[in-house]
Structure 1
């Protein structure tokens, strides 16, 4: 349905973006939602300029899901050197004693080559079986988290996370959290506007895991279903340097200025002006992490009248000047989670 609603612009955008080859490892007794949830998110992203090329593979040509659906014509395991991402959906937890179908050498090779390897729910047991969880933080469904820790004592199983990234290994807590994990991958690959559009298409909301102490304005305030307000938010995210008026935004939303003011607050809980300022500040924060960017250039890029205005608003929001904030952000890089 989503593809029928897109314009030719998104199709042209796909031609300029790097294709990402995704191998979905389908193991016996796979859970259908663990499989379909992340796959659907990546599929929807293709309608917004991404190019995820999905391949369904396994050690055998077919697999019977935990729900009894037979999945056939699975491809042989592809050359890991051709891949950007491996997805390992979870299996029926009652079958975890038998992991003979897990292609251990293939998973190890993919990981060694730097391919992102992501599991959903009990798929973490397949990664553990391949030795990919040793010395890493990870997670799985809360019901089997203690079992994963017992079987793989060299790992650190986190019980209170929707998903965890440690290097190029990503694990998720299971079922619907596989969608959250997939959205985080889309965010990494294609940025906040793409993931906001995919989340909206799926009628879900990207929930941040407990390791992340700050939320993003690109994803916050998007849990509503008001199409006009979403269009305004998309425009503001795409044009952080814009100095559009309320009247101009109202035209984008196909509303009157008064109706947009009411609808925006009703949908998001904040005003249009407040949201616009939050977008500009977050873009500024991302730019200021680059030591080569001056406050003056950032102010110009983000649509502030001048550096003085940026400094004033920044201090009101964060309690320190942009220069002081930059100092606190310096130091060794940390791995994303």
Structure 2
């Protein structure tokens, strides 16, 4: 057979300089950069984030700029319909209800109440945005309670298992077996209705759902090979829990935290029904809806306006939660 001999110049690179291309190919982004890129690619989540930011900004600024106070009563301006300058010229929010212009009948044509007034003549524009502030405070406090109590409790219970898990889960079952109404009645006996009372009510039972979801996710993840490899390398329990397990269940925790926001707001509305809500004249979106519902047939705007604000907030938080879940889930990196 003929012997083939390869010379030095038989094989040449198509391009002589690959240094820049190789560097860009090998450059690795951090976890947070990857998460931010995946989040910004989700247009629905970005729009939802901006909607939440705008609502928070309006809730802070609107009561400060208004000449009315949330607890200021005007008995001569009861149940005025919404009236907005500019829009009234095109037949929208004209202040006319049942064919009667109440602003004209009261000789206050120079006044505008963007969301109308309630049965006591209080300006609903200020009360809705002041109530949004309080509802958001309750919601974010509920998230902190979920993270500080529920997430940590579920991580410890699920990771160590055995007797530790048995004892911790029996405690959860005992607490969860007590009806919420009984706990609320006991709180009502020893405490007066206030924001502090609502926070305590959330701290007693609000973290249980998060702890169970976290425990279930930990039980699924801790049996995987990378956890065994980390244990083999001598990693501590604390390192494995917060560096190996937590990032892999973070997406589910985020979505649960976002779902706890509407739950907390509706829970506050329930407390208002049993007399453990915010004291008068303070208001939240839940109490405004409850109060407006009593007059829904006569003045439907008292219920519709806070319901619309609440619905926009709920939809935005749900879209944001979906975006954060996809962004923080390591399994979404290569998809």
Task: State which structure, 1 or 2, has the greater radius of gyration over its C-alpha atoms.
Answer: 2
Q: Which of the pair is proportionally richer in helix?
A: 2
- The TM-score bracket by the shorter chain reads under 0.3
TM-score by length of 1: 0.21
Q: Which structure has the higher relative contact order (CA within 8 Å, separation 6+)?
A: 2
Q: Which of the pair is proportionally richer in strand?
A: 1
